[in-house]
């Protein structure tokens, strides 16, 4: 049957598929098509993904086995629902409401049954310790928390219990990488397993990328990932506190600040380092303008001139709070 679709280069297909799923517009009743260059993702409504245009193609109807929601309907009380879950490599990470906790093992089994690419299901119990990593419990599948996530052809090894990583930022990481010019110097202040640094090194042509993190587990994975993706000649992983390390690195063309709960503590220092600061924060949805004004005023207090090049919502944190990404030009 004919359907709207988006044509995506094969190496970009998985993060775009995830984004369409999150937006609720991917047609899961139709089989995805592909050829040597593109993957064709059927969609139920017009959608803007990185400026790609909508096409029309004929798709095969997919035979639908019992879906996850069908299985969950048999397990959970009618007034209890399960939100969408993150997939990192072959690990699903799901938040389970308290009233559904007695059924968590069955919920995990249902996810395994309906998603053949998933081998581990973890319950997300929130964040823990100063590094704000996920507090996870394996509830189904293999007893492990390490996996390899592939994003735009980049292989990212990560332990979801020891290093924070969000697959939902795939498009955002690509968007930042696209802004890096040949020869640029990049400082990734809170690098984690280094997904930003890796994509920039592989997809752009920077002269140097400094990936900094205070979490020794994150640094260990970042170093493994740098070797795995053959970017050791460009990416230098540094174990240390960004407040102490970054001032020693000198001026950079791009500074990435992906530490939403504490980025404001480090922003004054970043204005002294970066020509463009990619700033991430969590704010009330109706107070975004206040945060943008603060970014400009704080830079002025540091003797710098700041202008907001662009801001966008990159996620939802709570019913009233959103995660924003802001590109701030500093001079």
Q: Summarize the confidence of residues 81-100 as an average pLDDT.
A: 88
d(CA 207, CA 222) in angstroms, rounded, equals 18
Comma-separated ranges of CATH 3.30.300.110 domains in the chain: 68-144
Residues of the chain with CATH 3.30.70.2580: 2-58
- pLDDT score of 82: 76
Q: Which of the four CATH numbers 3.40.50.150, 3.30.950.10, 3.30.1360.120, 1.25.40.390 does domain 166-330 have?
A: 3.40.50.150
pLDDT digits (tens, 9 = 90+) for 117-157: 999 999 999 887 777 788 999 999 999 999 999 999 899 99
- Angle made by CA atoms 265, 325, 87, in degrees to the nearest 5: 105
Q: Provide the pLDDT for residue 50.
A: 65
Tell me the pLDDT tens digit for each residue of 291-327. Answer: 999 999 999 999 999 999 999 998 888 889 999 999 9
For residue 28, what are the contacts with CB-CB under 8 A and spacing of at least 6?
62
User: What confidence score (pLDDT) does residue 144 get?
Assistant: 97
Cα separation of 290 and 281, whole Å?
12
CB 60 within 8 A of CB 30: yes
pLDDT of residue 64: 58
Residue 51 is predicted with a pLDDT of 62
Q: What pLDDT, on a 0 to 100 scale, did the predictor assign at position 91? A: 96
What are the start and end residues of each CATH 3.40.50.150 domain in the chain? 166-330
For the chain, how far is it from start to end, CA to CA, in angstroms? 54
- Counting Cα atoms < 13 Å in the Cβ hemisphere of 88 gives 25
pLDDT at 240: 96
Query: Among residues of the chain, what percentage have pLDDT more than 90?
Result: 69
68-144 topology per CATH:
GMP Synthetase; Chain A, domain 3 (3.30.300)
Q: Which CATH number fits domain 2-58: 3.40.50.150, 3.30.70.2580, 3.40.50.300, 2.130.10.10?
A: 3.30.70.2580
pLDDT (0 to 100) of residue 92: 95
* C-alpha to C-alpha distance for 279 and 287, rounded to whole angstroms: 16
What pLDDT, on a 0 to 100 scale, did the predictor assign at position 66?
A: 65
Beta carbons of 151 and 199 less than 8 angstroms apart: yes
Helix intervals (H) in the chain = 13-23, 68-75, 104-114, 170-177, 195-203, 216-228, 242-245, 263-271, 288-301
Per-residue pLDDT, averaged over 157-173, amounts to: 94
Neighbours of 150 (CB within 10 A): 12
């Amino acid at each position: 049957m004919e359907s709207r679709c988006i044509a995506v280069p094969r190496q970009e297909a998985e993060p775009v598929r995830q984004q369409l799923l999150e937006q609720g517009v991917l047609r899961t009743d139709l089989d995805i098509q592909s050829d040597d260059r593109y993957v064709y993702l059927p969609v139920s409504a017009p959608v803007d993904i990185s400026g790609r245009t909508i096409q029309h193609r004929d798709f095969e109807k997919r035979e639908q086995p019992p879906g996850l929601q069908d299985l969950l309907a048999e397990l959970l009380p009618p007034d209890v629902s399960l939100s969408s879950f993150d997939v990192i490599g072959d690990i699903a990470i799901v938040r389970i409401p308290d009233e559904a906790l007695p059924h968590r093992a069955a919920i995990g089994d249902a996810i395994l049954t309906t998603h053949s690419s998933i081998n581990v299901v973890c319950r997300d119990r929130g964040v823990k310790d100063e590094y704000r990593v996920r507090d996870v419990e394996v509830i189904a599948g293999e007893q492990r928390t390490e996996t390899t996530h592939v994003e735009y052809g980049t292989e990212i090894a990560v332990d979801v219990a020891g290093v924070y990583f969000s697959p939902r930022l795939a498009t955002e990481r690509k968007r930042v990488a696209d802004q890096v010019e040949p020869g640029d110097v990049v400082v990734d202040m809170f690098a984690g397993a280094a997904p930003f640094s890796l994509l920039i090194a592989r997809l752009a042509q920077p002269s140097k990328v400094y990936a900094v993190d205070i979490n020794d587990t994150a640094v260990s994975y970042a170093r493994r990932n740098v070797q795995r993706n053959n970017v050791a000649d460009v990416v230098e992983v540094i174990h240390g506190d960004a407040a102490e390390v970054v001032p020693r690195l000198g001026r950079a063309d791009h500074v990435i600040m992906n530490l939403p709960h504490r980025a404001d503590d480090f922003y004054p220092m970043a204005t002294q380092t970066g020509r463009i600061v990619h700033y991430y924060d969590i704010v009330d949805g109706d107070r975004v303008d206040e945060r943008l004004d603060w970014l400009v005023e704080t830079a002025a207090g540091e003797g710098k001139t700041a202008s907001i090049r662009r801001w966008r919502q990159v996620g939802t944190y709570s019913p009233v709070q959103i995660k924003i990404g802001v590109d701030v030009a500093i001079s």
